[in-house]
Amino acid sequence: MPQNLTRKIISAHLRSGDMAPGAEIGLRIDQTLTQDATGTMAWLQFEAMGLPRVRTDLSVSYVDHNTLQMGFRNPDDHRFLRTVAAKFGAVFSPPGTGICHQLHLENFAKPGATLIGSDSHTPTAGGVGSLAMGAGGLSVALAMAGEPYFISMPKVVRVRLTGTLTGWATAKDVILHLLGKLTVKGGVGKVFEFAGPGVAGLSVPERATITNMGAELGATTSIFPSDAKTKAFLKAMGRAADWQELIADRGADYDDEIAIDLSALEPLVAAPHMPDRAMPVRELAGRKVDQAAIGSCTNSSYADLKTVALMLRGKQVASSTDLLVSPGSKQVLAMLAREGLIEPMLEAGARLLECTCGPCIGMGGSPVSAGVSVRTFNRNFEGRSGTQDAQVYLASPQTAAMCALQGAFTDPAGWGQAPAKPRMPAKVPDIRHLFIFPPKDGKKVEVLRGPNIVPIESFPGLPSRVEAPVALVVGDDVTTDHILPAGAQITALRSNIPAISEYIFSRVDTNFVSRIKGLGGGVVVGGENYGQGSSREHAALGPRHLGVKAVIVKSLARIHRANLVNFGILPLLLVDPADYAKFALGRKVAIPAADITPGGVVELAVEGAGKVAVRNDLTDKELAVIRAGGLLNSVRASRS
């Protein structure tokens, strides 16, 4: 029977389950990646399993999120990650080498391989035909231990591309168009598989831009075929042996199809404060721009930055606008330097930043108060930039560069002829010597940990009845940035759950932490798409540490739902969304936990409001994990 590309890879890695949409499947994982904001906790969890070595084909520990190294916490964590990788057999990427997704695409991602990473933008590797998914750190730790990764079998949506990008339209505009069409929850439970004649006109970096931001759709992942363009890219990276052709069979079935004519696209932006608020750049003409930031795992490739350098050559950034440029890797930086393309950016007035995530997660580069910032990043959530009242627009590198030069949005009709797309050189600088590969035997390696690295907390199991007050009520589209903000100060506490928990919901309700401590625990009530955004499991771990027993919402984002399960928090869905109004701060909620069955419905007793019906979409395995007090407890019990 003909198979689509997604089902081909899943069937080749299937360890358990039935490939029917919605059914639970367990997948063998070939590769994992972690980054420093999530990796310390993932490695602490792996350590707790007592295994001598990782059991994947490849595991890489990247340091790219918080490289500021202010005080001892970050450098201590980086040293821990370096030594723990050496001990357990992972590759280590030191701070400043580059952004994990850009580096993985260049150096390790393979067509047909499965990859999970403790970062929601892991689907970037789908640009070379890898089935790559974001996951919580504990799920990644278990994959490193050789355990299968469990997900619901996704529906596969064929995105048929026709035509070619013209004028100033770019790959960024493809995904912004798709986000505007489907919204940030339009991809839940789905894989977007790109196909059609338009695919051949997109380079691997362009494809990776699209798969990277597919995460903003809430999708399980996005993937392109592995074809001649993939082969050329891997050959240029010195990895021709990693290539294999991987395409959908003729006549393969899909669960749905979307058509996009690339020739009809125009430059778009995502307006504040959601990636799906897509609108044409021309409609913003005249709006002043205080800052432009070019980089992130979405748009920091050689091709992106070469285009920007050529646009800036001989010109100067507007005096009222700051321009920040973050290369995605030292390989990208070396390629630009070889071609004399650093100087044009510097002479134009751009600030060249380290090869890291940087401003994308509020690590420096914050806009001025109430400032307009045009960024080539993937998220523009309120406050994520580090400036709470900033107005952040997401755009292509070309649009951001033009905004920097003009000091404002302008109509692309007046931009003149668009620059030609840069071609990847036949051979590129090799930076693999900068990675630290593990010794064959890590028994003699000492894992070094600083005083901020706190042992993993053990949580109790689920009681037969949960009685707890409502500790917080929030609305729709609450992100993990709302639950636990990023930024240098907070992210430095990633290895210390008691300390980082003091910031839970701090930008939503400054009284939340003191309130839930005073209540002795509670439940959180939310609206649609609760927990979208970053994969950071600290957004589940922190609430669990503070005593959150359950979240009661209209709908949940995929990765955050998995993190709630992993740490023993009940994810409950309102049968009637109108019942959301029955919950108020302080009202006591009684949950008959013993009566909960996988996929079943129970009634909660809400003080002053009567009964409220809730359902769950848990599997037998997931419910057992919650009853055990979390996945780590469950795994320990199964091995004892």
Task: Return d(Cα 34, Cα 118) in angstroms, integer.
Answer: 5
What is the pairing mode between strands 610-615 and 601-606?
antiparallel
* Annotated catalytic residue, options 30, 36, 76, 119: 119
Which DSSP state fits 603?
Answer: E
* Annotated catalytic residue, options 64, 77, 322, 477: 64
64 catalytic per annotation: yes
636 catalytic per annotation: no
Q: Is 597 exposed, middle or buried (0-12, 13-18, 19+ CB in 10 A)?
A: exposed
Task: Return d(Cα 616, Cα 575) in angstroms, integer.
Answer: 9
Which among 314, 308, 264, 271 has a CA at the least distance from the CA of 409? 271
How far are the Cα atoms of 40, 155, 627 from residue 616, in angstroms, in the given order?
31, 20, 14
Q: 116: helix, coil or strand?
A: strand
Task: Return d(Cα 294, Cα 16) in angstroms, integer.
Answer: 43
* Annotated catalytic residue, options 65, 101, 207, 277: 65
Three-state secondary structure string covering 215-284: HHHCECEEECCECHHHHHHHHHCCCHHHCCCECCCCCCCCCEEEEEEHHHCCCEEECCCCCCCEEEHHHH
* Annotated catalytic residue, options 13, 536, 545, 627: 536
639 catalytic per annotation: no
515 catalytic per annotation: no
Contact 103, 121 (CB under 8 A): no
DSSP 32-63: EEEEHHHHHHHHHHHHHTT-SS--SSEEEEE-
Task: Return d(Cα 276, Cα 216) in angstroms, integer.
Answer: 8
ω into 273 cis (within 30 of 0): yes
What is the pairing mode between strands 114-117 and 31-35?
parallel
Give the number of other CB atoms < 10 A from CB of residue 149: 21
* Annotated catalytic residue, options 104, 158, 207, 379: 379
Query: Tokens for 39?
Result: 């990796």
Element (H, E) at 140: helix 137-144
* Annotated catalytic residue, options 373, 534, 535, 555: 534
379 catalytic per annotation: yes
How far are the Cα atoms of 33, 127, 222, 301 from residue 105, in angstroms, in the given order?
12, 8, 14, 10
Contact 167, 418 (CB under 8 A): yes
536 catalytic per annotation: yes
Return the active site residues.
64-65, 119, 379, 534, 536
